[in-house]
Structure 1
Amino acid sequence: MSSEAAARSGKLSPFEQLRYARQILQQESQTLAQLANRLNQEFCRAVTYLYECRGSVIVSGMGKAGLVGQKIMATLASTGTRSHCLHPAEAVHGDLGRIHHDDVILILSQSGETEEVVRLLPSLARLGVPILAMTSRADSTLGRSSAVVLELGPLEEACSLGLAPSSSTTAMLALGDALALVTSQMRDFNREDFARFHPGGSLGRKLSKVEDHLRSVEQCRVAPESKTVREVFVTLSVPGRRTGAIMLVDPRGKLTGIFTDSDLARLFERRRDLDLDLPVRNVMTANPLSIRLGSRMLDAVAIMREHKISELPVVDAEGKPVGLIDVTDVVGILPQPAWEHPVQPVRPGCRVFREPEGGRPA
């Protein structure tokens, strides 16, 4: 095909594709910058409605605006503001029953004259629910019927025809994020709240608590520090997958040390067979790293990565072991992001193989 034929067919060279794509992104970014400068007290009034809403925030819109509305609804719901969607066309066929007088309705319409939206307005007025409008013109039918108008202003779509919703939907989406996140911050919505609403997937694992993943103390090997190494290994047995470490405790049940399979292997490698009949406290790693019950799993992973350990005891407020995090339990949990600050270990220490007190027996 000749270059002229390609031009007539509307095909673009790779250079032209990139140039056009950059123009689209630049135009949409300029739209967002203009929208940011246009924000006024109406935005604060809208946030107040969302923050003080005792019911749900109902989000509605047609076409692309409706799809953007679904994302805004999901962001609101996941950041502490109860929210649902309402299709304008379905609303007038019975779904108005979803709306309660304590609700607030957020309607998205670039023109403010969308037929299905305009037809819905009288019914909403009779229900007495406040309407927050996201539209380009405050003097549109939607704007005049609303308690608050978030005016997008005149927008030029990034589409070459100036028709396909692009700049307008980007503006709606970003403004919806601003509404949801400002409201969330006013609610003091924190990481623990976020984790409660996101228990699944990689995000849920990173925000979960250590107690959601630990092997309970019943599944772990725990022994008094006064027992000999031989006694510990002969008498201790647990069902299921065995951890590679034994947690040692004092007479009060507090964690004092840890002894791993690797520690046992080193005894044999160094021909220290006689140490098998010494108290395990003589050869254990004393004051091991541990993490408190209630800490985030992300912090446990950070400690294990930083100190290159395979087992991390979990202790209660009194320092008594309640379980163990094994390296195989943290597979799939990503490394800690830069903005995170891990909790400090309960009792920092170095992994040192201690010689028996008084040297080896004669």
Structure 2
Amino acid sequence: MKLIKNIQSIAKEVIRQEAEALHKIIELIDDEFENCVYAILNSGGRVVISGVGKSAIVGQKIVATLNSTGTPALFMHAADAIHGDLGMIQDNDIVLVISKSGDTAEIKMLVPLLKRINVTMIAMVSNRDSYLARNSQFVLHAQVSKEADPLNLAPTTSTSVTMALGDALAICLLEARGFTHDDFAKFHPGGSLGKRLYLKVCDIYPHNELPMVPASATLQEVILEMTSKRLGATAVKMADDQMIGIITDGDLRRMLKEHQGTRILTLTAADIMTKSPISVSPDEYAVKALEIMQAKSITQLVVVEEGKVLGFVHLHDLLREGLV
């Protein structure tokens, strides 16, 4: 096996070239790009993306991004289109064809078929003078002067640029549609990402016991409540169940350090508690509760609604749900 001494410099050069190409296409975002966005929004149909080779693979990724951000899309391989897949195109659809050169045999066969069914075409192409660009109503200019490989053959820089342009298109459409956090959650219900988007505190705290003592509770009663409910904390309430504080393991340690001898035996929950503790609403997203815990370096939050304690959410709950 040949020993390559400059692996790191080669890797850095590839990334540098791709980064420069991405920077250059920023200047190519113009009125025509904006017109493409409006054409898709006003079509009332889907975006059908087509291509061959690496362009086909990138096209499938763009389809997935569009679908997950509120723009219905599907993929049609250019080679399969002539064998029946053209039938998937509906009247209001827009076809986006991806090709670096815009002059391959497959593209030259596909374009006349698309024109025959009178469908609006968008070309995502590096060469604006290509057959594909000349025969499309809109052009997304994915200009690339050179691939990152020394032979200038392997699709590298061109696929990065195409991917970025597809992302830009998807996010512009997302913004234009007013796509919200809740919309995103509907399309991503699975896995840890889905839980981050829809799981709320009210989905978690009812599974935990509710440790709670009156303000007059003795130290022994406080410790028994905390240990029996296994959450490392207990809420402190008034007679009307309004929360006035919380006692954690940390509060107990501070109390033992500050007080000595028999004085400890006379302390009540009101003497030990932390007043106005950090709390969370039952309707808050669980990931927000996690952010609060991380920011405050705490392991549990008391769940409060209109001043009344409903329960606790613990860091272990969020770990179990895969949010950490």
Report the TM-score range of the alignment, normalised by the length of the smaller protein.
0.7 to 0.9
CA distance in 2, matches of 1:314, 1:94: 58
Equivalent position amino acid for 1:225 in 2: P
Shift of 1:322: 3.5
Distance in 1 separating the partners of 2:158 and 2:213? 68
1:314 aligns with 2:289: no
Deviation per CA, 1:241-288: give whole Å up to 9, x if none.
84222334445544332234565677788553344xx5x445433322
Instruction: Look up the SS of the partner of 2:37 in the other structure.
Output: helix
Q: Does the CA contact (< 8 Å) of 1:105 and 1:131 recur in 2?
A: yes
Matched, 1:121 2:119: no
1:310-358 Cα deviation digits (max 9, x unpaired):
2201223x23333321121233645xxxxxxxxxxxxxxxxxxxxxxxx
> Alpha carbons of 1:327 and 1:26: their partners in 2 closer, same or farther (altered >3 Å)?
closer
The reply on whether 1:159 has 2:163 as its aligned counterpart is no
Which residue of structure 2 aligns with residue 348 of structure 1?
Answer: none
Consecutive unaligned residues of structure 2, counting only runs of 5 or more, are none
Displacement of 1:47 in angstroms is: 1.5
Does residue 67 of the first structure (1) align with residue 66 of the second (2)?
Answer: no
Deviates more, 1:218-227 or 1:26-35: 218-227
Q: CA deviation at 1:170?
A: 2.2
- Per the alignment, do residues 21 and 245 of structure 1 end up closer, same or farther by CA in structure 2, a change over 3 Å counting? closer
**Match 2:166 to one of 172, 176, 179:** 176
Aligned to 1:329: 317
Indicate which of 7, 18, 32 corresponds to 2:22.
32
Q: 1:13 to 1:228 in 2, by over 3 A?
A: closer
TM-score relative to the length of structure 2:
0.80
* Aligned-residue RMSD, C-alpha: 3.5
Q: CA deviation at 1:228?
A: 3.2
Q: Deviations over 1:182-224 (max 9, x none)?
A: 22233344545444444445544555544276321x6322546
Check if 1:286 corresponds to 2:275: yes
Among residues 239, 245, 248, which one is paired with 2:233 in the alignment? 245
The alignment status of 1:45 with 2:35, answered yes or no, reads yes
Match of 2:99 in 1: 109
1:1-362 residue pairs with structure 2 within 5 A? 11=2, 13-15=4-6, 17-153=7-143, 155-211=145-201, 214-216=204-206, 219-223=208-212, 225=214, 228-229=217-218, 242-260=230-248, 271=262, 272-275=264-267, 280-316=269-305, 318-331=306-319, 333-334=323-324
Q: Distance in 2 between matches of 1:154 and 1:267?
A: 68
What is the TM-score when the length of structure 1 is the normalising length? 0.72
Contact 2:213 2:234 in 1 (8 A): no
Separation (CA, whole Å) in 1 of partners of 2:236 and 2:105: 73
Quickly say closer, same or farther: Cα 1:171–1:268, change in 2 above 3 A: closer
**Is the CA contact 1:315–1:323 (under 8 Å) kept in the aligned structure 2?**
yes
SS in 1 for 2:40: helix
Matched with 1:337 is none
Query: Partner of 2:284: helix, strand, or coil?
Result: coil
Distance 2:122 2:77 in 1: 16
Structure 1 position 174, deviation (Å):
1.8
Q: Partners in 1 of 2:76 and 2:302 — Cα distance?
A: 49
174-183 vs 59-68, which moves further: 174-183
| Contact 1:267–1:273 under 8 Å retained in 2 | no
Instruction: Give the residue type in structure 1 aligned to 2:210.
Output: R
Post-superposition offset of 1:65:
0.5
Q: For the Cα contact (< 8 Å) 2:245–2:277, is it kept in 1?
A: yes
The whole-number CA distance in structure 2 between the counterparts of 1:60 and 1:37 is 25
AA of the residue aligned to 2:279: S
Distance (whole Å) between structure 1 residues aligned to residue 161 and residue 253 of structure 2: 63
Deviation at 1:93, TM superposition (A): 3.0
Residues in 2 aligned to 1:27 and 1:262: alpha-carbon distance in whole angstroms: 54
Counterpart CA distance in 2 for 1:29 and 1:267 is 57
Q: Quick one: structure 1 residues 152 and 261, their matched pair in 2 at CA, closer, same or farther if it must change by over 3 Å?
A: closer
CA spacing shift, 1:81–1:284, aligned 2, 3 Å: same
Tell me how many residue pairs correspond in the alignment: 317
Indicate if the aligned counterparts of 1:290 and 1:312 stay in contact, CA closer than 8 A: yes
The structure with the greater share of residues assigned to helix is 2
Q: 2:154 & 2:252 partners in 1: Cα distance? A: 69
